Amino acid sequence: MDYGAMVRTAQQVHQRCGKNTLAALVDMTVCGFRYQAGYMDYLVFEFYRLNSQQRATYITRGKNNAYVHKLNPRQYWHLLEDKVEFLQRFDGLHGRDWIDLRQTDEAGFRSFIQAHPKFVGKPVTGTCGHGIEFFEISPDSRIEGLYQMLCSGGQVLVEEQIVQHPMVNQIYPLSVNTLRLVTIRVGQEVHLVFSCMRIGNGKRVDNLNSGGMAVLLDLEKGQLCSPGADKDGKAYFQHPMTGTDLIGAPVPFCHEAKKLVEDAALRVPELGYIGWDVAITEKGPILVEANQFPGHDIYQFQVHLGPDHIGLAPRFEAAMGGL
């Protein structure tokens, strides 16, 4: 527990709604015991505006941890955590070429980047876009030492860059704006319990922890259906950098994306609760990565919920059934 950060969060609550800082700290502590809510849950989900019946319906940090503990045995996390294992297991679904520099010599690397002059270097493990670097070479580029630089920096997974669909590119072109589709699998039945698009905002990645936003996605209509929301509580009806209207923005291949993650979930029977990141290309949806410990902060921004301010725990728990 970072008590200093907790105090600063209580001060933010005071600035947002006028609630006394000490009273906010006490209420945070109560919510921690009663709803397994962290202090960031209290802020992001705006618990300071909710009553006890509403708060009980939220997927908090503690509840999300419990879902992971119940459905995703830790000894199988490596299947998704290791990006090379992920690419091998979901061959045919990730739609891009890649090499592992631990198994590829410099000549093989040179051949790869000649075929794919726009490429990405990644660590084999990691989240939130950390350690990812984008490269583009031309016939005149000097690439001496690049292989050694990537190897020494731990960026041993080299992939061709994903080119997203022009309709998605119009929303924000600097990052690959991925769909976050969350599945819960019970036996051979796969439930899609949450869908949104994550959109970058000033950076090359779309993660909320890097300043990005989340917008709810209507998979049946194939369009975005809410304002954007970021972790600071800001709502966006247009993207601040492109001016694109978010509500109603079309997203192609939504039905195909839903089928993609349902099929993918059945390829990993060891894990039952997965957050899938899906890119939309001109040829269709592809898997970017998958998360055995899906972040719960994206689920319940107030701007995305109805006037009753009910959280998503009932939906997730209904999908789990008797588990």
Structure confidence by residue, pLDDT tens digits, 275-290 = 999 999 999 999 999 9
> How is residue 261 annotated by DSSP?
H
pLDDT at 33: 97
Query: What mean pLDDT comes out for the span 56-75?
Result: 97
Query: What mean pLDDT comes out for the span 63-87?
Result: 96
Largest Cα–Cα separation, the chain: 64
Under 8 Å between Cβ of 172 and 251: no
Calculate the alpha carbon distances from 146 to 121, 137, 149, 221 in Å. 11, 11, 5, 45
Q: Which has the higher per-residue pLDDT, 139 or 9?
A: 9
Instruction: For the chain, give the mean pLDDT.
Output: 94
pLDDT at 53: 98
And the tokens for 188?
């051979």
Query: Does 2 have pLDDT greater than 90?
Result: no
Query: Does 97 have pLDDT greater than 70?
Result: yes
pLDDT at 233: 81
Q: Spell out the residues 6+ positions from residue 130 whose beta carbon is closer than 8 angstroms to its own.
A: 123
Q: Spell out the residues 6+ positions from residue 244 whose beta carbon is closer than 8 angstroms to its own.
A: 170, 171, 172, 238
Query: What mean pLDDT comes out for the span 178-197?
Result: 97
Q: What is the dihedral of CA 304, 305, 311, 313, to 10 degrees?
A: -60
Confidence of residue 176 (pLDDT cuts 50, 70, 90): very high
Q: Nearest 5°: phi and psi at 35? A: -120, 5
Query: What mean pLDDT comes out for the span 23-33?
Result: 97
pLDDT at 141: 81
And the tokens for 262?
């349902």
pLDDT at 70: 96
241-262 pLDDT, tens digit per residue, is 999 999 999 999 999 999 999 9
Query: Does 323 have pLDDT greater than 80?
Result: no
- C-alpha torsion sign, points 307, 311, 312, 318: negative
pLDDT at 1: 73
Query: Does 130 have pLDDT greater than 80?
Result: no
pLDDT at 128: 63
Angle at Cα 179 formed by Cα 174 and Cα 180, nearest 5°? 120
Query: What mean pLDDT comes out for the span 304-318?
Result: 96
Beta strands in the chain (DSSP E): 98-100, 118-122, 133-136, 157-160, 179-186, 189-199, 213-218, 223-224, 228-229, 235-236, 273-281, 284-291
132-170 pLDDT, tens digit per residue, is 899 999 887 888 899 999 999 999 999 999 999 999 999
Query: What mean pLDDT comes out for the span 47-65?
Result: 97
pLDDT at 322: 61
Place of tokens 């580029």: 141
Q: Which has the higher per-residue pLDDT, 131 or 112?
A: 112
pLDDT at 209: 86
pLDDT at 49: 96
Under 8 Å between Cβ of 185 and 172: no
Q: Nearest Cα to 80, choosing from 267, 235, 299?
A: 267
217-228 pLDDT, tens digit per residue, is 999 999 999 999
- Interatomic CA distance for residues 253 and 250, integer angstroms: 10
Under 8 Å between Cβ of 115 and 97: yes
Place of tokens 């039945």: 189
Beta bridge partners of 135: 119
**At residue 147, what is the residue type?**
Y
Query: Does 129 have pLDDT greater than 80?
Result: no
Q: Nearest 5°: phi and psi at 307? A: -65, -15
**At residue 317, what is the residue type?**
E
DSSP 130-154: TT-EEEE--TT---TTHHHHHHHTT
